[in-house]
Structure 1
Amino acid sequence: MLQATKGGGGNNKAKKELAEKMFVEDGLNAKEIASLVGISEQTLSKWRKGDGTGKTWDDKRNEYLAAPHKIKEVLMKELNNIASGSGATIDADALAKVSKVIETLSNRTSVQVIFSVFKEFDNWMADQEPQMAIAFLEWHKRFIQYRINQED
């Protein structure tokens, strides 16, 4: 575990980044982080809430915990528990189902990304084969409209 040097002001940006990592990824509580980083719990609370323009540290922690690699980690720990003779501690079947839904949603390409890729492709194709680019352009418009209708 990393520990910041206590006292003497220090580099607040570095302390804030370290504290955020400890909170989001390591799951430490405010008291532990404040002690390790050498800041007050009040400062940590302000940092944790953010400035209102982005995600809070709690939002980031929830996303981190729901990430597929973290779900896999939880399932592997559960597998080790069961293999060592301990009983199940979580509903692994439900967790696996939720993970599958997240994976399915993550694999879906947004209309904005499709539009961006088509635009780049159309510009490239216009330099290669202008007539073919015109034909592709019409199909790209149709596909984008189809995807927009699917999302509604």
Structure 2
Amino acid sequence: MGFLHLNHYKNMSNLLTNQAKKVMAEKMFVEDGMTAKAISEQLDVSEQTLSKWRKDGRWEDKRAEMLASPHKIREILIKELKTVAEGGVSLIDADALAKINKVIETLSSSTSVQIVFSVFKEFDNWMADQDPKTAVLFTEYHKQFILFKINQEG
């Protein structure tokens, strides 16, 4: 399937229900970072309607969470590194970039014992409701893994 021209999206927007437009608009705003004006033009929805949807759905908060996610930060840094590698001027100072990169490496290299413990606990409680005998087996392995992680970090 080839890339659709913008006019095709405008024509398709006439076929979409308001609920479908709302879902698409939220994705365009939160994940793609598009402006309300651009979304309005693409989906043929008034900016006033978008403003109401944004407020009711807390899109601003969702966008902020998306931008603060380690995945998004890494994406921004990789784009910045590419700019510098191609001879462009960095918009981020090198010391800040090195510090941010270190944090990203820390976030992506290993999962903390606290997070593992929390997830295992939630899983074990859920599993106990599903199959208590199997839950006991899992719990024992989970304890062993947590001890392993503690020894790795210590």
TM class by shorter chain equals: 0.5 to 0.7
Indicate yes or no: 2:132 matched with 1:123: yes
Alignment of 1:31-70 (within 5 A): 31-50=37-56, 56-70=58-72
Residue identity matched to 1:12:
N
| TM-aligned CA distance change 1:49 to 1:9, over 3 Å | farther
Residue identity matched to 2:40:
A
Alignment of 1:32-111 (within 5 A): 32-50=38-56, 56-90=58-92, 91-100=96-105, 103=108, 107=112, 108-109=114-115
Residue 69 of structure 1 and its aligned partner are, at CA, apart by 2.1
What TM-score results when the alignment is normalised by the length of structure 2?
Answer: 0.63
Q: How many residues align?
A: 128
Residue 105 of structure 1 and its aligned partner are, at CA, apart by 9.8
Take 2:124 and 2:16, find their aligned partners in 1: how far apart are those partners?
48
| TM-aligned CA distance change 1:50 to 1:97, over 3 Å | farther
Structure 1: stretches of 5+ with no match in the other structure: 144-152
Take 1:21 and 1:126, find their aligned partners in 2: how far apart are those partners?
38
**Higher helix content, 1 or 2:** 2
Name the structure 2 match of 1:29: 35
Asked if the contact 1:34/1:40 (under 8 Å) is kept, the reply is yes
Residue 76 of structure 1 and its aligned partner are, at CA, apart by 1.3
Indicate yes or no: 2:113 matched with 1:114: no
Residue 5 of structure 1 and its aligned partner are, at CA, apart by 3.4
Residue 87 of structure 1 and its aligned partner are, at CA, apart by 2.5
Take 1:76 and 1:126, find their aligned partners in 2: how far apart are those partners?
42
SS in 2 for 1:74: helix
Percent of residue pairs bearing the same amino acid type: 40
CA-based RMSD: 3.5
| TM-aligned CA distance change 1:69 to 1:97, over 3 Å | same
Q: Which structure's CA Rg is the greater one?
A: 1
Structure 2: stretches of 5+ with no match in the other structure: 147-154
Q: Deviations over 1:112-143 (max 9, x none)?
A: 63333333268125888xxxx9xx6xxx8xx9
